[in-house]
Every structure is written in C-alpha cells, then in structure tokens.
Amino acid sequence: MSSNSLEGKNVVVIGGTAGIGLATAKAAADLGAKVWAAGRSQSHIDRAIEVSGGSFEVRQADTHDAEALDAIFREAGTVDHLVSAAVGGERTLKPFLQQTQEQFQAAYDKLWGYCNVVRVGAPYLEDDGSITLVSGSPARKIKPGQSPLSCVGASVENLVRCLAVEMAPIRVNVVSPGTIATAMFDHFGEEKDEKLSGMTATHLIKRAGTSEEVAQGLIFVMQNKYVTGTTVDVDGGRILS
C-alpha cells in the first residue's frame, strides 16, 4: 500500500450528500476509505443513502450545528481527511447596490460554516491529515451580480492559506470549481443544458464540468502529501477566458 493511499483512511465529507460533496464521498469510498458523508437536507440524505449502496455512512448535520458535527467526528474517531463542500448560506445574485446588507451578509454563512467545521473537526485530525474546502471561480473571475459569490469565495481561499500556516503539519487546501452541472442549475428546467452551454461558450473547455471531475481535484489534494495552502482550479479554463 502506498503512503498516499486512501485505503483504510477515515474521511469525513460535510456537505457530502449532494453534488460535489457526494461525488467526493463516493470517490473516496471507491478508493477504500471509510467515509462519513453529512448533509442537512433529508431529500439529499435519502438520495445519498441510495447512491452509497452501503459503501459509506450518511449522517445529518448542518455546518452551523457544532453538536451534530462533533457527533460525526466522535463516531469516526481519528480523522485522516476532512472535507467541507457545503454551501452553508443564501446567495443573492444581483448587483451589490440592489442588495440589502442582510442579503449580502447571508452569503458569508458559508464562511462561518467552514470555520465551524474546522474548529470542531481539528481535534480529531491526524497530524499528517488534511482539510479541504471548496470555493469557486468567481473568487477570481468576476461578473456583474456575483459580488457575494466572489467575496465569500476569496475569503475561503485566504482562510485556507492562513490555516495552512497555522495548522502545519496538517495540510489545508481549497478546490475552486468553475461552472459545474449540479442541482443548483435545476431551476432552469428543460433549458438547463442550453443555459449551461451559453454560460461556458467562452471557456477554454466549452462545456460545464461534472461533480465527478471536481471530486478528482479533492481526491488529489487528499492523496498528495506535498500540497498545502494551495488553490486547485477545476474550472475548464474559466478564469483565463
């Protein structure tokens, strides 16, 4: 067994019952890890149980619920890899001056949720373990009406750099997805594919990404023991286009 194998490792994925988090939980389990995937939505939990086929544990927890998070970490015991992919907050996507202070601040619930996950989970982490968070390409590629996404994503990426310095030798990284064909675009209904095609027409890779492709980025930083304080872009070249 190689030193960077996930075989037999304990992996906790908060926000692991849908989208990128669920794909990460499944990928880690497929590589032999013992995985706990947690989410807050019962419908997502039911779907994750179905997807898991018993290959990983599924629990209910919100990033802002320290007691529920601690219960999962206690169940896992020693944690080798901690992932948080939870949205954790409401984003109002319209020009900054058209938002109320409360609407703009609500987006930062994602950051506060991540802080809570790290604080509660840190005592359970192995010294050579890792923490991986998820931001998003708007942190560095900005379009009108995306100020909450951009500001919160940038805060997450800077938090990761701070934590990497403070928590070494625990490794801390962030994966930044581009336009990914997840349920967040389901509100487009039958026009979803057409809308995603239009949104990615100027990207270097002219299509939306998949949750599984982003999950590969999260698996990479879990397995590579020489990577810390790093932002891994899985965005089809969005920030360059």
Are the CB atoms for 210 and 183 separated by under 8 Å?
no
Residue 21 confidence class, pLDDT cut points 50, 70, 90: very high
Percentage of residues in the chain with pLDDT exceeding 90?
88
Per-residue pLDDT of 171-225, as tens digits, reads: 999 999 999 988 767 778 878 888 899 989 999 999 999 999 999 999 999 999 9
Q: Does domain 10-235 have CATH number 3.40.50.11260?
A: no
Per-residue pLDDT averaged across 130-147, rounded?
95
Residue 3 confidence class, pLDDT cut points 50, 70, 90: low
Per-residue pLDDT averaged across 10-16, rounded?
98
Per-residue pLDDT averaged across 60-87, rounded?
97
- The whole model's pTM is what? 0.94
* pLDDT for residue 91: 85
Task: List C-alpha distances in Å: 146 to 84, 98, 149, 150, 182.
Answer: 22, 12, 5, 6, 18
Distance separating the N- and C-terminal Cα atoms of the chain: 41
Res 1 pLDDT > 60:
no
The domain locations on the chain are 10-235
